[in-house]
Amino acid sequence: MQIKKIILYNNDGRTRELEFEIGKVNIITGESKTGKTAIIDIVNYCLSSDECKISDGVIRDTVEWFGVLYQLETEQLFVARQNPNKLGQSSTNNLYFSNADVIQIPSLDQLQTNSDINTLKDFLTRKMGISEHTNKPDSGTRDPLAVNFKHSRFYCFQPQDLIDQRDFLFYNQADNYTAQSMKDTLPYFLGAIHEDAVRVEREISTLKREQNRLIKTLKENVRLKDEGSSKIMNLVDEAKELNLISVDRVVENVNQALDVLNEVIKLDFEADVQEGENENLKKLIEEKNVLSKDLAKVKDEIRAVESFINETDNYSEEANQQKARLESIGLYEETEAAHNACPLCNSALDTSIPAISAINNSLNELTENLRTTTIESPRLNQYTTALEEQRDKIKEFMDVKQASIKAIYKEQEEASRLRNVNLRRGKAIGRISLFLESFEVVEEDNDLSTRIEYLESQINQLEAQIGVEDREERMKSILNTINTQMTSWGGKLDLEYADAPLRFDPKKLTIFIDRHTRTVPLSQAGSGANWVAFHLLVHFALHKHFVKANRPVPRFLILDQPSQAYYPPSKDAELQGILVSESTDETAVRQMYEFIFEVTNSLAPHFQVIVTDHAKLNNPEFKEAIREEWRNQIKLIPLDWITQQ
């Protein structure tokens, strides 16, 4: 993968295109603040980056869509992503991409979202030929990492704030997660891991899962066997307690215990028999309730009759007293004058007294009533006696019913007790059965260790094919080649340690200088010129290996301001970027570009370099490589786009 074009779209459909040549050095030289630094961010944004790092300001104010045309081995890929500012977002997952042998750059109105960054990432992973390799850390301190296209981009960008850094060599290495991803995936991209390792590792994982399962089973069997002797006797004791076996049964060893327990589980035994509702009990309770109501009714009648008899007796007593008084009046004869004169003193009365006949009438009525009462009294007594007899019979019936009910309740309590015992027996038989099944597995599965050993030998054979030792040997061989290349190139650059062996450490992602007496890490090498040189050496050495070994890494490297250690912007303002003197700094810049051209040309057409810089060398090779010069109001964003805002 190399870069053919960068295309910017403004909101009225106009485009700004930057064209690059495949397999060559491409240079954009120019003043500060012209947009050179944005090149890396635009390319990365259109390579499925999760975030948009393109600087805010003029570029984001004027550009509607960012697009890049990539040249693959036999086809082209166009990717465009919308300016997130136009969406009111910090970034966007949506994008447009097309893939064909030759692509006609689409117009703005043709840019309609048709995919997202995850789909593009998967597409690029397949197109680049990245195998389905997953790095699985031995320590288990972090999750396995599946290699994909995004891990290959770390070696393609050297922004201005990184290229002269002494603490970090690679793009986004300052992020701990990204740095770890580089350490995990770089052996794959270097080719230290066989391409068929994916298949073999998958097979190893399957065998290890089976082996772990068998080891777990073996440990459980050993535990059951150790616990079995004591547990089996406990089960025998429990069976005796529940009368599942005779308490007199002698059990002296494990074999006898197994025989006894096997007899227990063969018992035709139902642990818990569910019974229906006792209809007889229900009927007795209902009959008792009816009798209770009848008894209450009879008692009420008895109380009513007894109350009536008491009232009648009281009436008879009072009536007899009244009759006696009226009969005493019969001693005097009744006369006409008797009505208006006192019968004792014969004096006149204001109110006439009742006639003697009326008193006699009253006496006759009392006499009749007393006679009737005297006649009814025996009948009431007979009725009361009958009611009392009925009451006593009802009580007898109720006592019979209550006795029957109590008997049934007693039977139910006994049945409940028996059910509890049966339930315990059922549970005990279940435990005995489960134990015997487990014990049987332990006794029968004696070849577990043999199967585990066989799986171990298979795993060892497969691991030998992609073994750690072989992988480390291949890694050492590859690193030796890279280190030798860096060391041989050291003399071509302005490097303080040009004569010392250089060593790249992929586990620490840094370079070491092996001096005679001590090893110096990059962070202690000193001076921006050294740091830039080391960055160039390791990246060009890695890319040379990627090309020669045909590894699935993009075939381009973008360098932003590589001459900044020698050529500050102040010189650019004075001299329009042209190096005219033969000072040490100018010589170092010439050596650096000569090195870039030499390596790139040696790898042509399989490697492309894009450089954005202030410097402008006055030699034919450099001039021929200039694609655009951004000075005198010429910038990444056309002036008429800016004035239109």
pLDDT at 618 (0 to 100): 87
| Edge-to-edge strand ranges of the sheet holding 510-514 | 502-505, 510-514, 519-521
On whether residue 36 sits in a domain, the answer given is: no
Instruction: Give the CB-side neighbour count of residue 543, counting CA atoms within 13 A.
Output: 32
Task: Give backbone dihedrals phi and psi of 528, rounded to 5 degrees, phi first.
Answer: -60, -30
Question: Residue 13's Cα: distance from chain center in Å?
Answer: 46
Strands 608-613 and 556-560: parallel
On whether residue 353 sits in a domain, the answer given is: yes
On whether residue 628 sits in a domain, the answer given is: no
| Token pair in block for residue 57 | 């300001």
Domain with 371, as residue range(s), is 279-420
On whether residue 404 sits in a domain, the answer given is: yes
Per residue in 45-58, pLDDT (tens digit) is: 999 898 999 998 99
Question: Residue 307's Cα: distance from chain center in Å?
Answer: 85
pLDDT at 331 (0 to 100): 42
Per residue in 400-414, pLDDT (tens digit) is: 778 777 777 776 676
On whether residue 304 sits in a domain, the answer given is: yes
Strands 157-158 and 556-560: parallel
User: How many distinct structural domains can be found in the chain?
Assistant: 1
pLDDT at 271 (0 to 100): 47
Q: Along the chain (645 residues), what's the average pLDDT of each consecutive run of 10 residues? A: 97 95 97 94 94 92 96 96 89 92 95 94 92 64 78 96 94 94 92 76 84 85 65 76 78 77 74 52 80 84 74 62 59 48 62 55 58 57 78 83 74 68 77 73 64 89 73 91 95 84 95 90 87 96 97 97 78 55 79 96 97 92 96 92 77
pLDDT at 353 (0 to 100): 56
On whether residue 173 sits in a domain, the answer given is: no
Q: Which of 10, 191, 18 is nearest to 85 (CA)?
A: 10
On whether residue 535 sits in a domain, the answer given is: no
pTM: 0.62
| Token pair in block for residue 98 | 């097309």
On whether residue 605 sits in a domain, the answer given is: no
pLDDT at 272 (0 to 100): 47
pLDDT at 26 (0 to 100): 98
Nearest 5°: the CA angle 637, 641, 645 is 125
